[in-house]
Amino acid sequence: MVLYDFTVEGRFRFNIMMLFRQIKTNIINILTTAEAGRFQTLSYQRQGKAAIEFFGTKRMVEVYFDSGIFSKRSAAIQGPFEHAMNFNIELSVAEAAKGDLSVLLDQGSTPAERAIALNNFNEAAPLADESFDELFEIVWQILTDARNYSLGLDKGIVVDRWIENVQKNQALPDGEYVVLTGSMNLKCTAKEEVLGDPASIIGIDADTSLELYSEDGVKEPVQKTGVTQEFPS
Amino acid sequence: MIIPVNLREMVEADLEFSLEGEWGLPVILIDPDGNIQDKKKGAETELKGQILYNTVGLNPETGEQVVVNNPIVTLRKTSLERIPANGEKWLVRIPIVPNATADKEDFLISATKPLEGGASIGFIRLYCRRAVQV
């Protein structure tokens, strides 16, 4: 009887989602963890929203996968494929005029006091502009933090990560609020494994050492194969 | 006997019915000098005006639909002690729903949308921006 002692050294990944989906989920988790009551994070695009839903500190950050580019490799049949991913991050803020209403509504206040309170009211448009800038800064700092370089994955999986641009749209002055929207995008690159559908085969490269023992227990010379092994899921 | 009628005066007089009559809702104004106007000029009756509420807006940059409450208050000029001018800060208190006895909400006249209403049409239209306690 020949005994075999088979060891495999290599890196295994038994996920069933492509990396772009994992990264999107991780970006949302990173932002959600850092909210601290300053904004809210959504994992999809809202098609229509009421201004009051993102008024003040409820300003909205919507994260979604926008596009990706796969580099062509002449030797690539079963992957992995380099995936340059683009995530869109939509920012929405809404503001109202802010001031000391208590003086204005106080029956005992004088016209002079009311005049001062009214004059000190802050208009909604500059407040919305400032709120947007602040929100962009917060999100930018969170996502470009060195601690989040790997975007929640193991070190080395995400090759690079940067925020390419930010765009602020025109403020909407209609209605009781001023609404200001904009977007920023985060790009990163990682290698996508070909998992199949349903995911059944994970191809890995591994160095294999096959130790053979003869029937009388004598160990045969070690044979290294160094070929790709396929493992059923 | 034919009595000459000034049609422009008649149109302006009709505003008493169209804006302040059965469709009118109470409005309270606080002008930049802090003076409160809650009575019709020269009368002891409530100051009233026409109030329109909701609008569905469209973000012209993205085409995204944004729903906003968009109160528009239309007042007869001759009922006002002082007429709002562009650039001034006025507080406007109006019912939250079209009911004279409903709770009131506070708004500032929008600084980003000019007032509508020239001298020839007899009324002024105020676009309101929500005011909140800082």
Query: What is the per-residue pLDDT across A147-159, written as a single tens digit (0 to 9) for each?
Result: 998 998 988 889 8
Write down the pLDDT at residue B80: 93
Instruction: List chain A residues with pLDDT less than 70.
Output: 1-16, 74-76, 174, 199-233
Shortest alpha-carbon distance between residue B45 and chain A (Å) = 19
Write down the pLDDT at residue A176: 83
Query: B34–A111: do the CB atoms touch at under 8 Å?
Result: yes
Mutation target vs B (from A64, A113, A118, A180; most B CBs, 10 A cutoff): A118
Among A195, A197, A183, residue whose Cα is nearest residue A230 = A195
Chain B interface residues (partner A, CB cutoff 8 A): 30, 32-36, 55, 57, 59-62, 64-71, 89-91, 106-108, 110-113, 127-134
Locate tokens 């650039």: which residue? B87
| Cα–Cα distance, A62 to A48 (Å, whole number) | 12
From chain B, pick out residues whose CB is under 8 angstroms from the CB of A113.
34
Is 0.85 exceeded by the ipTM?
A: no
- The single-letter code of the amino acid at B121 is I
Residues 128-157 of A with CB under 8 A from B: none
From chain A, pick out residues whose CB is under 8 angstroms from the CB of B66.
48-51, 172, 175, 179
Angle between helices A19-33 and A124-144 in degrees, nearest 10: 120
Beta-carbon contacts of A196 under 8 Å, excluding residues fewer than 6 positions away, are none
**CB of A104 less than 8 A from some CB of B:** yes
Q: What separation, in Å, do the N-terminal and C-terminal C-alpha atoms of chain B show?
A: 64
E-assigned strand segments in A169-228: 178-192, 201-204, 207-213, 223-224
Shortest alpha-carbon distance between residue B4 and chain A (Å) = 44
**H or E stretch covering A116:** helix A111-119
Shortest alpha-carbon distance between residue B54 and chain A (Å) = 8
Instruction: List chain B residues with pLDDT less than 50.
Output: none
* DSSP-assigned letter for residue A152: T
DSSP codes, A8-72: EES------S-HHHHHHHHHHHHHHHT-TTS-EEESS--SEEEGGGGBGGG-EEEEEEEEEEE--
Q: Across-strand partners of A69?
A: A84
Write down the pLDDT at residue B100: 87
